[in-house]
Amino acid sequence: MGQYHYPINITKKQFLNPHKLGDGLKLREQNGGNGGVCSALHMLLAGSNGRGGGDFDKHPLIGSWCGDRIAILGDYAEPGDIPGRINAQRVMKDAMGEDKLHVWKDISEEMIPLLEQNCEVRFDTDENGWRSRVKAMDDEEWSHSQMLLKLLQDLVKVAAKNPVDIDHIRNRLHWFVGVLKREIKGYRKPLEGPVITDRSMV
């Protein structure tokens, strides 16, 4: 079993939950990826933000970890992992353990609007509670999806009015409409589902 890691601000008693930012809990799963843990840390540690073009929009969280004592600790942490007098094992127990102290705060949800705004991503939670991070659509993609959605909705209506044996088409059209509706909400999902192989049916 792998070790689960969390970025922790020991000074402010705050931490990030990688799962809430669309990343895995293992260390390699948090290494890179636009809009995830690395982007969140980049914002939190930006001490000179807001003084020039290309900076993030000002927000109380941006730069709020600058100068603090920060560590990325795993649940296998040992007391001497942090140089100095701080007990890393105790920090993990207090912040993440079953008997965690209420003074510790998970700021992941507060970071999500900043990540969506500055990294052009959207966060989606599936039926099992897993959160994923996907690229946001630009205006041209959004307009294109709207047009395709209208076309497919019209086709579904036509199919519904014809009692011919066209269930094969109707089922697939309903699926495509669902995909496009999700796209118009501002994010993409992988195209998984029925594939039309008989082109004479469409």
Parts of the chain with a pLDDT under 50: 187-202
> Which residues, other chains included, contact 135 with Cβ-Cβ below 8 Å and sequence gap of 6+?
120, 121, 122, 187, 188
Measured between alpha carbons, how far is residue 161 from residues 149, 150, 152, 165, 180 in Å? Answer: 19, 17, 14, 12, 22
Q: Which residues pair with 72 in a beta bridge?
A: 7
pLDDT of residue 134: 80
The predicted-structure confidence for 70-91, as pLDDT tens digits, reads as follows: 999 999 999 999 998 899 999 9
The rounded distance, in Å, linking the Cα atoms of 182 and 187 is 7
Closest listed residue to residue 71, CA positions, set 94, 92, 43: 92
Whole-model pTM: value is 0.68
The rounded distance, in Å, linking the Cα atoms of 45 and 14 is 13
Residue 5, H or E segment: strand 5-9
pLDDT of residue 191: 39
| DSSP string for residues in 104-167 | -EE-HHHHHHHHHHHH-EEEEE-TTS-EEEEEPP-HHHHHHHHHHHHHHHHHHHHHHH--SS-H
The rounded distance, in Å, linking the Cα atoms of 113 and 122 is 9
pLDDT of residue 183: 61
Q: What does DSSP say about strands 105-106 and 14-15: parallel, antiparallel, or unpaired? A: parallel
